[in-house]
Structure 1
């Protein structure tokens, strides 16, 4: 049975992780992300279709499914709007509705819409530099929140008023709009050299694959799209499982504010020190009101590094011979349960944004989120130079001694099928996803680019942001890829294991052994449902 990848983008990246990747078919929901702009009401996901979209924004029983349902409704509405406006049945097969093409000329003006208000200033800075180099102007308009953005695109499609370029949710919204005829096919334009400068795990974002076509309903516009059609280019990227530490609290506890813990045990020692120094405000914050955050953002990367990829994936396997109740599984749960004394008071009552805000306000010494969390903390008054960042560290006795986080594309850029300035728009996409252009946007917005900046990262981004991007690279065996759900049951529901894990810690209602048994029952039920 095929699965959807749902990516969950956070509020910061969409700050409520939840936007919408939506392959018109129900997805699972994996890792909550976060809300991005204060007026961004939709969640974004970044973890798998089901997970990606499902990431679940937060709070309700299954926010991921709710988001996907809403996303599918928006897709249907959009498809109708486009059909009425342009009759683009053929355009859905590959962008045949492209506007006039030609050599871009100085003096042209492009229009670009983004759903991310936090990107507007950064894009304007990039546009000014782009104009100085090419003579082509780019007018940026931020349209928020998400539902307003979608409505505006819908209305513009009906009146032939679409802009030249759109920034969209990657791996979902871009495909939906492309299949509905709004976006041009960029497959012939994005050559190997362009793709090679992108982070490897983001390169095929925006490309319609045969798998995506096969899993949708027969009446989906995806069925009319040729495999290999590219509707967008990845623009920003991020990863989960990033720890933020308050440097002042580290210093107060006698710890280094510049050297992150190298192992899980050193991380626990640091938590012990900050909690001893300040029992009320020295602990760890995380939005466990969305129960799967602990399971997805802390336990899974830690267990992956402890067990290694093969044994980690075996935890979720059908039959569970090497499942959570096995000796290895129980040991990984015991390691995770060692966080119990150090949670911030009331953490199970906090949503993702609330936990991040609490950290920004000094109510905890550590916070766990994603790379996208940095921008949200800055929006809430905590300067990037005041925090030490590092990925969930590997246990000392684990299989992998280092860990890296495979990035997910969060947003992407597409060229509308009705543009009359296609060549100029391509030039803009090429420039803004180059190291120079991507660096300008990232440094101002604090959102990491999907462009691999390599050795140029620190000079282009500054030390604080570059410190985050370095965690995207590492030995293949030590890379934790949150988007890989090929080993999950197709009806995987991340909320169920998340609820079980909260009973283990911080609630202390179950032992690691009891938790392992319960987790295997949960996985077994989902595999049975899959059959």
Structure 2
């Protein structure tokens, strides 16, 4: 069970008992005028610090005071919300995980429906791939387990507004290590082949290879292999790898060719990479134990927290193969967190106004610059002025031709009970463990996918 699901189901139990006795909120009677104080809870300390600084600007503009509290770690956040739901002690605004936790909290009665508040103009200032995050769909309702609180929701309800966004498949290079190896620290590799050559050079010069938390096996499959295969094959042929009853799967010439390209990483993995979790691998990179690391746009903030300044890293998407379909690749962002208004707030109008402002270019830019987490707001030409050079350079990888944009959130071509751990474990056996050849790995992956399709039936 995922962390989000554990959190939300636990909340649902508390809400069943607690919210029946609480006010329903809403925009009707009992609203207090703007200018009242608002309280907000988040599960990220870096966001709380940044939001409190932004709140001072918001107060100056509106007279509405906002106090943001970070409640960490996740299990403590859950306990706090559960307790508050039973005692009418919830804050006015919550930051929650998008497209999952927000739905379960909203359908349970914890968060209000904001569908009529978020206008077309508001949505247009968000990154296109995040605009509908927080909006419950019938497909989502139909897909969840029978015991999920989402079953009681209604299609079209919006329980959060996208706040932060990110993408996987981002490579980070230590500029000092590139210089020490005689490589250009300002120019990313233009192709997969150039990336492999850079890894070969840094490894040979004693600067280290590539770190990734392969203890969580699906990171290699999701963050490197999938965008690499997408760029090499193009969207239709990439989707065909996962097709029901396909003859164009992983054991086909297309599939084997992509697995061969991925397996070329084998000599360059950081020693012990299969024993490292995601955070441990990122810390190893921040400590100079490898020249490269792979993560997401959100990894930059974690590296900074562990002593590696953003100006010391060169960031770029997983490069495409030289002979592939796409010569460039961008990473379509997905909403990571969203902001919701609690059902018990007595100042709904002010709460919506705060969320509106903090997801505007001005507010979102302020928070992003302080937290180093990219916003779901499209900052366009204002990005560098609002975010600074290093963070703006990272956000530019969200933009590119639609046909070459890799969408990690697109699961429309997977079996409905897709389990990413199984292909993750299999590709770890391919590389770095070298237990399988690309041909053997392709045949085994086809069996895994076929079994999931059969289970879906």
Tell me, in whole angstroms, the C-alpha distance in 2 between the residues paired with 1:216 and 1:516: 30
Give 1:423's aligned residue.
349
Give 1:209's aligned residue.
137
Number of positions where the alignment pairs a residue of Structure 1 with one of Structure 2? 457
1:190 deviates by 0.6
**1:156 and 2:91 matched:** no
Give 1:495's aligned residue.
421
Tell me, in whole angstroms, the C-alpha distance in 2 between the residues paired with 1:99 and 1:223: 29
Tell me, in whole angstroms, the C-alpha distance in 2 between the residues paired with 1:329 and 1:120: 45
Contact 2:166 / 2:296 at 8 angstroms: preserved in 1? yes
**1:454 and 2:390 matched:** no
Give 1:165's aligned residue.
93
1:214 deviates by 2.4
**1:288 and 2:234 matched:** no
Greater shift after overlay, 205-214 or 135-144? 205-214
Q: For 1:91-130, what aligned pairs fall within 5 Å after superposition?
A: 100-101=30-31, 104-105=34-35, 108-130=36-58
Greater shift after overlay, 508-517 or 434-443? 508-517
**1:434 and 2:360 matched:** yes
Contact 1:98 / 1:419 at 8 angstroms: preserved in 2? no
Contact 1:305 / 1:394 at 8 angstroms: preserved in 2? yes
Distance 1:247 1:211, change over 3 A: same
- Could you say what secondary structure the match of 1:254 adopts? coil
Greater shift after overlay, 358-367 or 342-351? 342-351
Equivalent of 1:189, from 117, 127, 143?
117
Higher relative contact order (CA 8 A, sep 6+): 2
Contact 1:167 / 1:413 at 8 angstroms: preserved in 2? yes
Tell me, in whole angstroms, the C-alpha distance in 1 between the residues paired with 2:146 and 2:272: 47
Give 1:37's aligned residue.
none
Contact 2:192 / 2:321 at 8 angstroms: preserved in 1? yes
Q: For 1:29-40, what aligned pairs fall within 5 Å after superposition?
A: none
How far does the alpha carbon of each residue in 1:133-191 deviate from its partner, in whole angstroms, 9 at most, with x for none?
22211011111112221222222222222111111111112111111212222111110
How far does the alpha carbon of each residue in 1:48-87 deviate from its partner, in whole angstroms, 9 at most, with x for none?
xxxxxxxxxxxxxxxxx3536623531432332334433x
1:104 deviates by 2.3
Contact 2:334 / 2:409 at 8 angstroms: preserved in 1? yes
Q: For 1:311-322, what aligned pairs fall within 5 Å after superposition?
A: 311-322=237-248
Q: For 1:23-62, what aligned pairs fall within 5 Å after superposition?
A: none
Equivalent of 2:10, from 54, 74, 98?
74
Structure having the higher helix fraction is 2
Give 2:199's aligned residue.
271
Equivalent of 2:186, from 258, 262, 273?
258
Contact 1:297 / 1:368 at 8 angstroms: preserved in 2? yes
- Could you say what secondary structure the match of 2:79 adopts? helix
Tell me, in whole angstroms, the C-alpha distance in 1 between the residues paired with 2:203 and 2:124: 45
1:224 deviates by 3.7
Equivalent of 2:442, from 516, 519, 524?
516
How far does the alpha carbon of each residue in 1:214-248 deviate from its partner, in whole angstroms, 9 at most, with x for none?
23456654344332111110100111000000000
Please list every run of 5 or more consecutive structure 1 residues that lacks an aligned counterpart in the other structure. 1-64
Tell me, in whole angstroms, the C-alpha distance in 2 between the residues paired with 1:416 and 1:68: 18
Give 1:383's aligned residue.
309
**1:297 and 2:223 matched:** yes
> TM-score, length-normalised on structure 1?
0.83
Contact 2:217 / 2:424 at 8 angstroms: preserved in 1? yes
- Could you say what secondary structure the match of 1:414 adopts? strand
- Could you say what secondary structure the match of 1:257 adopts? coil
Tell me, in whole angstroms, the C-alpha distance in 2 between the residues paired with 1:266 and 1:98: 61
Give 1:469's aligned residue.
395
**1:525 and 2:455 matched:** no
> TM-score, length-normalised on structure 2?
0.96
Contact 1:243 / 1:368 at 8 angstroms: preserved in 2? yes
1:413 deviates by 0.6
Please list every run of 5 or more consecutive structure 2 residues that lacks an aligned counterpart in the other structure. none
- Could you say what secondary structure the match of 2:170 adopts? strand
Equivalent of 1:226, from 136, 147, 154?
154
1:193 deviates by 0.4
Tell me, in whole angstroms, the C-alpha distance in 2 between the residues paired with 1:136 and 1:66: 37
- Could you say what secondary structure the match of 1:321 adopts? coil
Tell me, in whole angstroms, the C-alpha distance in 2 between the residues paired with 1:471 and 1:406: 8
Tell me, in whole angstroms, the C-alpha distance in 2 between the residues paired with 1:446 and 1:72: 27
- Could you say what secondary structure the match of 2:94 adopts? strand
Tell me, in whole angstroms, the C-alpha distance in 2 between the residues paired with 1:429 and 1:387: 32
Equivalent of 1:407, from 329, 333, 339?
333
Tell me, in whole angstroms, the C-alpha distance in 2 between the residues paired with 1:380 and 1:104: 40
